[in-house]
Amino acid sequence: MRMHKPVASAMLGVGLAVASALAGAQSVSLMAANAPGYWNGGIGEEEVLAMRSQAYAFPLRLVFSDGPRNEFTANVPVVIYDERGNAVFALRDAGPMLYVNLPEGRYTVTAQVDGIAKTQRVTVGAGQGRDVAFHWNSDAEALTRGM
Letter for the amino acid at 111? Answer: A
Label the pairing between strands 116-124 and 71-72.
Answer: unpaired
Question: What pLDDT is recorded for position 35?
Answer: 60
Give this prediction's pTM. 0.71
What tens digit of pLDDT does each residue of 67-114 get? 998 899 999 999 999 999 999 999 999 999 999 999 999 999 999 999
What tens digit of pLDDT does each residue of 5-53 get? 443 444 344 344 434 433 433 334 444 345 679 999 999 999 999 999 9
Which CATH number is 5-144 given? 2.60.40.10
Residue ranges per domain, the chain? 5-144
